[in-house]
Amino acid sequence: MPELPEVEVICQGLRPHLVGRVVIDVQASGKPLRHLAPLAAMQEMLGGKRVKTVSRRAKYLLIAFDDETLLIIHLGMTGNVGLFSQTAPVKVHDHVRWQLENGYELRLHDSRRFGGVWLLSAEQAEARESGFFAATGLEPFSLGCTPAHLMSLAAKRNQPVKTFLMDGKAVAGIGNIYANEALFAAGIHPARPASTLRKRDWQQLLFLIRSILSQAICCGGSTISDFINASGESGYFQMNFQVYNRKGGPCSRCGAAIEKIVITGRATYFCPRCQKESKAHPVHI
């Protein structure tokens, strides 16, 4: 599933090509997604409207229009979006196409159809933080997302710290890949109860989360499964993975074999030597 860096890369790739463009029509394949705004509503509310901004919130792509109507897209597990000529052949899994006045169209391609499309009115868009995103945590780069904030949220949680990091209600946008990588960088065992982390643990962990996410964005994201960015190019942060998907491979620091366990139904990778459950001292990247 595309995580925060992948969605941010798509956002940055689309922004210069979408802002100022006018939607003239919307077409859909007719096949259901996890959530799909009614086609008739999209055609009525977006037809003739000009794109004002392209942004990201958590793992969602936000496209706002000149009348403040807001289109929200979630890529699910295998979705991607990109700009194509309206004359380019439509693929089987191109499920939604927003046609623009310049002869191009934004296409949502989703082979497993776990993605979603929502359309918010101007009033709903203005209240999106208390409405649509009411259950979404702070952005990891936001000023309000501090070690103290995370520590207070985790204080009464005995769930594994990896599960806590992936809980979008606690902090937005961190998925399986980057939770694995950040915990390895911090020298914290992924099964360690979140409530046991101390202030210095959260200080180091938040610093490393931000560093790793920033690096991944600079690398264009991670090419896992079907992720592709808005320019049709694959990301390459996976070349920098220290533990993710490296079961049996040597730890880059100590040489021990990377192990794999399952935590809350998700594949979890760690170094048994660098991330001992009792280890509290961080490891710098």
DSSP string, 182-229: HHHHHT--TTSBGGG--HHHHHHHHHHHHHHHHHHHHTT----TT---
N-terminal to C-terminal alpha carbon distance within the chain? 25
Which residue among 49, 56, 57, 59 is the active-site one?
59
Whether 3 is catalytic is yes
**Non-local CB neighbours of 49 within 8 Å, separated by 6+ positions:** 22, 23, 65, 66, 67, 69
> Closest Cα to residue 11, out of 81, 98, 104, 112?
81
Q: What are phi and psi of 258, to 5 degrees?
A: -65, 135
Q: Using CA of residue 163, residue 168, residue 170, residue 173, what is the dihedral sign? A: positive
Which residue among 34, 253, 266, 276 is the active-site one?
266
Beta pairing class for 94-100 and 104-109: antiparallel
Whether 59 is catalytic is yes
For residue 162, the one-letter residue type is: K
17 CB neighbour count, 10 Å cutoff: 18
Whether 8 is catalytic is no
- CA 136 and chain centroid, separation: 12
Whether 266 is catalytic is yes
Instruction: Give the catalytic positions in this structure.
Output: 2-3, 59, 266
